[in-house]
Amino acid sequence: MCGIVGYVGSEPALPILIGGLRRLEYRGYDSAGVAYLEGGGLSVVKRKGRLQRLEEALQRQYGEDLSGGSVRIGIAHTRWATHGAPSDENSHPHLSASGRIAVVHNGIIENYMELRASLSGLGYAFVSETDTEVVAHLIERHYDADAKKDLLSAVLRTMGEIEGSYALGVLCADDPGTFVAARKDSPLVVGLGTNGNFIASDIPAILSRTREVLILEDREAACLRADGVRVVDALGRPVDRAPMHVDWDVEAAEKGGYEHFMMKEMHEEPRAVRDTLAPRLRDGAIRLDAITIDAADAAAISKVQIIACGTAYHAGVVAKYAIERLARIPVEVDVASEFRYRDPLVDARTLAVVISQSGETLDTMAAMREAKRRGARTLAIVNVVGSSIAREADDVLYTMAGPEIAVASTKAYNTQLAAVYLLAFRLAALRGLLDEAACAGWSERLLALPEALDRILADRSVLQRFAAEHFNARSVFFIGRGLDYALSMEGSLKLKEISYIHSEAYAGGELKHGTIALIEEGTLVVCPLTQAPLLEKMIGNIREVKARGAVVLGIATDSCAKVDEVCDAVFRIPDVDPLLAPVLAVTPMQLFAYYVAVNKGCDVDKPRNLAKSVTVE
């Protein structure tokens, strides 16, 4: 997500901080800022847009190389917007009420609405729309109430009140020699240097300065001074951890030590899905505060029209199953380039749901405008805050995948599905089809998904072995029924995008109407088998392809024993409600595609002829 760098030491701090942010630029961001102490005063400079703008503002005061003045301590941030559009006000660092405490934050404070309301009640004024600002105020409250005026204790107390994910850097004007860092579910490392110490959300930011790092664990905090670092647990007890020596080069460090961005991004799926779901599933209720559709609006919807391209379109196909099943509204799904030219039946009773990772895909944008022109209400499921589609849609439901760099989309799809379920449950609740108890049940099942994804990723060597045996396949078929068919489309796309192997997704029941003619000795068939009510039918389909010589890889839940006897290999995913299974079952398919492409020696992150964002027709 966003980037954090911090430094305290004997060298000019600003070149280190800005240089560190530059190392994180590859991840994408929309604004940048820095807070530092000089002559007893705390200064904050922040700018929307490129890092260059921040640097220019600082250069006017500190010279071309930023080494003027006497700044020796500071925290810096590049923001990828989540709460509130990209703007100077929403960029970090954020200040406490008195302006004495500055905070940079990565992650999402899930209970920030409650905290913001109670702080507002106490007279605190907010200058941004971010979730982070509550953290600055809370730290200051605890700091002011503490006779010892200990910043670390104030941060630990605040950690006890905030829920969600965070990596924090905190600077206080009262102590020019110290700053504090803390983390939970968002990465943060401490760098140990000879002329000072550092924090960074990602190792590349500090790699040119030190290779000795302490990895902070969840709910730990650190107090950094020029001459040392003290790490404590949530109760303030000292943590004794040996530093790790990083021998990665910058390129490997950018990929978090993984060989490719695609693998790194798949490993971010549990975090991304949690960040998309958890803030909206509080106390068993589904809260989509940013969506203005009320019960009367929901009752009036006669049709949901989904519009998207590529992977986002495949998320839309899953959405059709979910919305129709839960909210009982007819759903049509179109690829954007078809929708805009087919004279579609859309009117004021249509809810057009537009799905896009980038929020900039030209066909999707044009199709959304067409739907609007015909009177539809528009709702966008988008990953990039403030993107064109997000700005033009009537309502926006953001996915919290964070920046995706690999051209082949992975974590964005899992989070699009998470968002689609939230929307389906919300529409169902508004239409009186889902009571509180049912909502609570679904909420619990949704919140279990990130942990299940963790296990799938940990078990990936099974897929690595299978891919090593089959990467020479000329053609691969993905076959499924129901949601497994919707999912197969994405599995097939992933494989063809990065491995250049011809592949097709087919509905199991459709096999005998054509595709079965292509099955011969050794043909590879991948079957997601997560839809219990359709399992017998799928087993029948598998027998049909096996009888013609196919090799079958099944993807099935733990308790689905039946499929062992018909498949050549089975990858197991944790038991999950069939409706939610695509969020989990796509990951083995992404991993399989990845390992096939690696075995073939393909350029995994930059497949030929493809672009990450398609802004031309």
Site size toward ligand G6P (CB under 6 A) is 15
- Closest to 21 measured CA to CA, from 35, 10, 12, 34: 34
Q: Among 96, 201, 356, 530, which residue interacts with ligand G6P (rule: CB under 6 A)?
A: 356
Active site residue 2: yes
Q: 179 or 592, CB closer to ligand G6P?
A: 592
Please tell me whether residue 316 binds ligand G6P under the rule CB under 6 A. Answer: no
Please tell me whether residue 91 binds ligand G6P under the rule CB under 6 A. Answer: no
Please tell me whether residue 407 binds ligand G6P under the rule CB under 6 A. Answer: yes
CB of 341 to ligand G6P, least distance (A): 18
Please tell me whether residue 612 binds ligand G6P under the rule CB under 6 A. Answer: yes
- Residue 544 CB-density burial (10 A; 0-12 exposed, 13-18 middle, 19+ buried): middle
Answer for the pair 248, 203: CB distance below 8 angstroms, yes or no.
Answer: yes
CB of 40 to ligand G6P, least distance (A): 47
Q: 34 or 380, CB closer to ligand G6P?
A: 380
Q: Among 3, 33, 191, 310, which residue interacts with ligand G6P (rule: CB under 6 A)?
A: 310
- Other beta carbons within 10 angstroms of residue 485's beta carbon come to 24
Tell me how far apart the alpha carbons of residues 483 and 471 are, in angstroms, rounded to a whole number. Answer: 26
What lies within 8 Å, CB to CB, of 2 at 6+ separation is: 29, 77, 78, 79, 80, 92, 105, 106, 201
Q: Among 409, 492, 503, 530, which residue interacts with ligand G6P (rule: CB under 6 A)?
A: 409
**Site track for ligand G6P across 358-387, x = CB under 6 A:** x--x--x-----------------------
Q: 42 or 381, CB closer to ligand G6P?
A: 381
- Residue 227 CB-density burial (10 A; 0-12 exposed, 13-18 middle, 19+ buried): exposed
* Residue number of the CB atom closest to ligand G6P: 310
Strand 212-215 versus strand 189-192 pairing type: antiparallel
CB of 356 to ligand G6P, least distance (A): 3
CB of 381 to ligand G6P, least distance (A): 9
Q: Which of 2, 223, 309, 439 is catalytic?
A: 2
Q: Which of 537, 546, 606, 612 is catalytic?
A: 612
- DSSP assignment of 88-135 equals TTTSSPEE-TTS-EEEEEEEEETTHHHHHHHHHHTT----SS-STHHH
Q: Report CA Rg, the chain.
A: 25
CB of 217 to ligand G6P, least distance (A): 34
Q: 518 or 614, CB closer to ligand G6P?
A: 614
Answer for the pair 582, 554: CB distance below 8 angstroms, yes or no.
Answer: no
Tell me how far apart the alpha carbons of residues 579 and 532 are, in angstroms, rounded to a whole number. Answer: 10
Q: 52 or 613, CB closer to ligand G6P?
A: 613
Residue 73's identity, in one-letter code, is I
CB of 358 to ligand G6P, least distance (A): 3
Residues between 7 and 26 with contacts to ligand G6P, criterion CB under 6 A: none
Place of tokens 């994180």: 24
CB of 140 to ligand G6P, least distance (A): 40
- Residue 252 CB-density burial (10 A; 0-12 exposed, 13-18 middle, 19+ buried): middle
CB of 353 to ligand G6P, least distance (A): 13
**Between vectors from CA 81 to CA 80 and to CA 84, what angle results, nearest 5°?**
165
Active site residue 320: no
Place of tokens 């993905």: 478
Q: Among 244, 285, 610, 615, which residue interacts with ligand G6P (rule: CB under 6 A)?
A: 610
**Site track for ligand G6P across 448-467, x = CB under 6 A:** --------------------
* Positive or negative torsion for Cα 235, 240, 246, 250: positive
Please tell me whether residue 614 binds ligand G6P under the rule CB under 6 A. Answer: yes
Please tell me whether residue 496 binds ligand G6P under the rule CB under 6 A. Answer: no
Q: 358 or 523, CB closer to ligand G6P?
A: 358
Token code pair at residue 46: 């922040």
Q: What's the DSSP call for residue 511?
A: G
Please tell me whether residue 399 binds ligand G6P under the rule CB under 6 A. Answer: no
Q: Which residues bind ligand G6P (CB under 6 A)?
A: 309-312, 356-358, 361, 364, 407, 409, 610, 612-614
Give me the active site residues, please. Answer: 2, 612
